[in-house]
Amino acid sequence: MVTTTTAPAPARPSTPGTGRTKKGRLPRSKLPYLLLLPAIALELLVHVVPMVVGVWMSVLELTQFQIRDWSAAPFVGLDNYKATLDVNGPVGKELLHSFWVTVMYTTLSVGLSWLFGLFAGVYLQRPFPGRSLLRTLFLTPYALPVYAAVITWTFIFQRDTGLLNELLTTTGLADDRPFWLIGGNSFWALLVVSVWRSWPFAFLCVMAGLQNVPSEMYEAAAIDGAGFWRRLKDVTLPMLRPVNQVLILVLFLWTFNDFNTPFVLFGGSAPEQADLISIHIYRSSFITWNFGQGSAMSVALLLFLLIVTAGYLLVTNRRREHA
Amino acid sequence: MRETAAERWSRRVVLTLLTLFTVTPLYVMLSSAVKPLRDVQGAFTWLPTRPSFQAFVDMWSTVPLGRYLVNSLLVSSVAAVVSVAIAIFAAFAVSRYRFRGRQVFSVTVLSTQMFPGILFLLPLFLIYVNLGNATGIELYASRTGLVITYLTFSLPFSIWMLVGYFDSIPRGLDEAAQVDGAGPMRTLFQVILPTAIPGVVAVTVYAFMTAWGEVLFASVMTDENSRTLAVGLQGYATQYNVYWNQVMAASLVVSIPVVAGFLMLQRYFVAGLTAGAVK
């Protein structure tokens, strides 16, 4: 047992990530490292080491023939990457298609989820009867296990037994029953499910952020004659800026990497029109057993996400400083 | 501040639409679970012809739902408890000590959560298979492997939330305990943890939910014996002839514990998020 004579750091208002320098003594103790050891060991095993291995795999020819003894897999250099990024080749062409589907899906889903969350948050700011009931209700989709929620949507989208087509035919909006889970409609079905599942998270974050807006700010704006939209633009949105910065990034990453929604909605294989990139890589790896190719795609995806994230943080931070 | 009539009406319209959107699938799940089989085989009906709880009985024998449930319960509980225990120590270190690498640790751990799961799925799959072949410890297709995988999924956010809670506990309490001769471990267990109980409970529920709802790794890392609800229910819903009333009943049963847990603790989640958001 390591005994230590160090006093805890003096009270400080900072949380991790603010990069504030310490004011007090710097305890030279091994104890913090010992406390972190289990967390670090597990993160290494499940995240860091596999990531390194993944990069290594991406330069190997690793198919079902090498899987039992993968140290014998031949080194192929950047061949997997060439095939992945060659938009004229069959592999690259399909990947590019999947990429654009994912970009569309992510843009629409993040935009709508954020909008829904914002308006729900703003409209639930002031007390009225039934407010806490609505809040609880809105959070329910977020708490539901993803497969239970998405399976229910699968039922709703069934051509012959589902609620949606029943609604469309009885109201006369559609003459015959369209398919929702195959063909072009599948993209929109996927989008609806995605928004349904992620807007409550946006709502939760907006709600947390709005708790810090003093109501005097609204009073003052109202006295100045600011209407709903002016108050939204001049008070709410600026005050929510730090929350939005993180929220939109997190929503973007989650949605772009979304695997669960299409996987459960379409039962393991997505139609071409809704072939999100995670599903595409999964199928390229596990259906064809070409792990080297799949790894190259994963690494390319990671690089793309890192560049987008870095660019986003750069732009939003600069704008924040200028604001 | 008064609300104009236009504002009041737009509020009502927006909230009504969002409520309908949210409620529809929940209603479909609830109402279909109490339908007799005949009702879900034709066109959709809003109400059961006669309420029936037969689906809740039949679902256990159509697929081995009981086994999936036990697997999910075991994996999720063990993963949640171990994850929170590890997170408590890590959060204590980050909150109460200044040490080299503190920033790096916090940032790295949080950022792993942002990476695409598919990226480390393939290597992890191969690592588990090969570790198993080399050492004889079953990781692939075993519940142990799932527990290890899942607990790292909830660790980053658990640590982050607990740091927020621990930071809000005044250091004066620590110092008082130290004056009484308490070491760091006694300070943690007798001073900090009792004060942070709501946070610890919220984080435990979060870790449980994470494991309970995971689909991607479960679909690759399990076999017939270690299959969890995530994969089992999906197989149930993609059979040739789907008994939708049973599938809805099963979905309802597996949702109730986590939804109830989350909704009961929602204000602690909001508090945890607020602590992170206002930094």
Task: Concatenate the DSSP letters of all residues of A77-114 into one string.
Answer: TTHHHHHHH-TTSHHHHHHHHHHHHHHHHHHHHHHHHH
pLDDT in tens, A24-83: 444 457 888 999 999 999 988 888 899 898 898 888 887 777 766 667 778 888 888 988
The pLDDT assigned to A133 comes to 92
Query: pLDDT-based confidence at A3, cuts 50/70/90?
Result: very low
pLDDT at residue number A173: 86
Within 81-140 of B, beta carbons closer than 8 Å to A belong to: 86-87, 89-90, 92-94, 96-99, 102-103, 105-110, 112, 114-124, 126-127, 130
- Kindly state whether residue B237 falls inside one of the protein's structural domains: yes
At B275, the pLDDT band (50, 70, 90 cuts) reads low
Domain count, chain A: 1
The pLDDT assigned to A145 comes to: 94
State yes or no: pLDDT of B50 exceeds 60: yes
Distance of alpha carbon A41 from the chain centroid: 26
Of B98, B174, B251, the CB nearest to A152: B251
- Is A8 part of a structural domain of the chain? no
Residues A94-151 pLDDT 10s: 999 999 999 999 999 999 999 999 999 999 988 889 898 999 999 999 999 999 999 9
Closest alpha carbon to A148 in B233, B66, B170, B199 = B233
Interface test with B, best of A20, A30, A31, A46 (most B CBs within 10 A): A46
**What's the confidence (pLDDT) of residue B26?**
96
Please tell me the total count of domains within chain B. Answer: 1
Q: Is residue B177 predicted with pLDDT exceeding 50?
A: yes
Q: Does residue A243 sit at the B interface (CB-CB below 8 Å)?
A: yes
**Alpha-helical regions (H) of B37-170:** 37-41, 54-62, 65-96, 102-112, 117-135, 143-167
- Measured distance CA(B86)–CA(A1) in Å, rounded: 17
Domain assignment of residue A17, yes or no: no
Number of Cα atoms under 13 Å in the Cβ half of residue B94: 33
* CATH number where B175 lies: 1.10.3720.10
- Whether residue A33 lies inside any domain: the answer is no
- Tell me if A89 is assigned to some domain: yes
Q: Within a domain: residue A122?
A: yes
B232 touches chain A (CB under 8 A): no
C-alpha distance from residue A168 to each of A176, A177, A182, B78 (Å): 9, 8, 17, 46
Average pLDDT value over all residues in chain A: 84
Q: Is residue B31 part of a domain?
A: no
Least confidently predicted of A8-22, A285-299, B69-83, B216-230: A8-22
B237 vs B227: CA distance, rounded Å = 15
Above 90 in pLDDT, residue B157?
no
User: If 0-12 CB within 10 Å is exposed, 13-18 middle and 19+ buried, where does residue A318 land?
Assistant: exposed
Query: CATH number for the domain including A206?
Result: 1.10.3720.10
Identify the CA nearest to A206 among candidates A164, A176, A245: A245
Q: In B21-113, where do the E strands start and end?
A: none
In a domain, B145, yes or no: yes
The Cα B80–Cα B74 span in angstroms is 10
B77 pLDDT band, cuts 50/70/90, is: very high
Q: How confident is the model at residue A19 (pLDDT cuts 50, 70, 90)?
A: very low
**For chain A, counts of helices (H) and of strands (E):** 14, 0
B/e letters for A122-147, b = 16+ CB within 10 Å, e = fewer, are bbbbeeeeeeeebbebbbbbbbbbbb
pLDDT category of residue B101 using cuts at 50, 70 and 90: confident
Least confident of A6-10, A200-204, B74-78: A6-10
Is the residue at B136 inside a domain?
Answer: yes
Q: Which of residues 134-173 of A touch B (CB under 8 A)?
A: 134-149, 151-156, 158, 160-163, 165-166
Say whether residue A262 is in contact with chain B using an 8 A CB cutoff.
Answer: no
Residue A11 has pLDDT above 60, yes or no: no
Which helix (H) or strand (E) segment holds residue A201: the answer is helix A185-210
Chain B residues in contact with A207 (beta carbon < 8 A)? 270
**In angstroms, what CA-CA distances link B200 with B84, B147, B172, B204?**
7, 19, 21, 6
B191 shares contact with chain A (CB less than 8 Å): no
Containing structural domain, residue A124: 81-149+181-322
Which position has the token pair 């230590």?
Answer: A4
Predicted confidence at residue A255, as pLDDT, reads: 94
Higher pLDDT, B14 or B139: B14
Asked if B94 and B102 count as a contact pair (C-beta separation under 8 A), the reply is yes
Asked whether residue B200 is domain-assigned, the answer is yes
Q: Return the structure tokens found at B261.
A: 């847990």
Contact A301 B10 (CB under 8 A): no
Within a domain: A93: yes
pLDDT interval class at B276 (50, 70, 90) = low
Mean pLDDT, to the nearest integer, of B76-85? 96
Q: How many CA atoms lie within 13 A of A166 on its CB side?
A: 15
Q: Is the CB of residue A167 less than 8 Å from the CB of residue B249?
A: no
- The residue assigned the tokens 């001073």 is B191
Contact A243 B86 (CB under 8 A): no
Chain B CB contacts of A161 below 8 Å: 40-44, 244
Query: CB of B47 within 8 Å of any CB in chain A?
Result: no
| CB-side neighbour CA atoms (13 Å) of A202 | 27
Residues 6 or more apart in contact with residue B57 via CB below 8 angstroms: none
Crossing angle between the packed helical segments B266-277 and B143-167, to the nearest 10 degrees? 60
| Residue whose token pair is 């709600």 | A207
CB B218 within 8 A of CB B230: yes
For residue B1, the model assigns a pLDDT of: 56
CB of A160 within 8 A of CB of B43? Answer: yes
Q: What's residue B199's pLDDT?
A: 87
Q: Is residue A159 part of a domain?
A: no
Of A78-82, A119-123, A169-173, A178-182, where does the model show the most confidence?
Answer: A119-123
Specify the pLDDT at position A227: 82
Is B39 a member of any domain? no
Check residue B167 and give its pLDDT. Answer: 87
Residue B7 forms part of a structural domain: no
Using only the alpha carbons of chain B, give its radius of gyration: 23
- Give the distance from residue A89's alpha carbon to the nearest chain B alpha carbon, in angstroms: 23
Domain-located, residue A187 = yes
Taking the C-alpha atoms of residue B40 and residue B56, their distance in angstroms, rounded to an integer, is: 15
Q: Which of A149-153, A177-181, B41-45, B177-181 has the highest mean pLDDT?
A: A149-153
**Which domain, by its residues, includes B259?**
64-277
- Whole-angstrom Cα distance, residue A196 to residue A137? 12
The minimum CA-CA distance between B41 and chain A, rounded to whole Å, is 6
Mean pLDDT confidence for B198-227: 89
- Residue B155 contacts A, CB cutoff 8 Å: yes
pLDDT exceeds 50 at position B107? yes
